Amino acid sequence: MSLLLEGKRAFVSGGTRGIGAAICEVFAREGADVAFNYHSSDDLAAKVKAKIESYGRRAMAFKVSVTDRVGMKRIAREIKEAWGAINILVNNAAVNKADNFATTTDKSWDWIIDTNVNSLFAVTKPFYKQMIRERVGSILNITSVGAIRSLPTSVHYATSKAAVIGFTKCLAREAANFGITVNAIAAGIFDTELAHALPKRLLEMHDFWVSKGRMGNPFELAEFAAFLVSDRNSFMNGEVVIIDGGAVT
């Protein structure tokens, strides 16, 4: 049987850490050329790029913010000129901050919403336009169970991740007209830097109300992500799949 993503070209936002880095590696292992952007760490970017290339796949890394609309248009153009149009997009990049709503500052609110919500427009649109022209593509958005359940997480983070769900469902309807699918994964708590920014009380409770009794490994999510964006998953569209270790609802 062929690899899940043989011959595909993918872009992953926030590809140097946690879930993003795992997705880059698994997609490469499954046959895709992978480009990604990152915010600050050149060393981590070099490691992820080398890992992709170790599977015999092409890799490109861009130090550009996901909120930089001009920069993201340039990235999409450069990838297309080098490889051809992207046919898989993963909106993964996100930030979080432990805040109580009553004491959340304007700066904190704007930072979360700008990074987690406005980036959806900046990152998706240039690649979506390529997919429309090609009449094929798969978009995967990473959201959170905090957008679905009443958890003791930050209000601005939950709000931003709820927006990802609305974005997924509405864009899926429009994109289907062009042969493009749009789905999302609602992640529980995975062993990443982002998770460790969650309130301490939530982390302490986690192992008790999750039936698996532990945090997830980013590669566990990445394995499923590879199937979701593959041609073998041909009939799912506009769905939000929860991967949270079996949390009690």
Interatomic CA distance for residues 138 and 143, integer angstroms: 16
Contact 13, 20 (CB under 8 A): yes
Helix (H) or strand (E) holding 27: helix 18-29
Alpha-carbon distances, residue 125 vs 70, 166, 235, 244 (angstroms)? 11, 16, 23, 29
DSSP states of 31-96: T-EEEEEESS-HHHHHHHHHHHHHTT--EEEEE--TT-HHHHHHHHHHHHHHH----EEEE-----
In one-letter notation, the amino acid at residue 92 is: N
The torsion angles phi and psi of 139, rounded to 5 degrees, stand at -115, 130
Positions marked catalytic: 157
CB-side neighbour CA atoms (13 Å) of 115: 20
* Residues paired with 63 in a beta bridge: 38
Q: Which two tokens stand for residue 106?
A: 């304007």
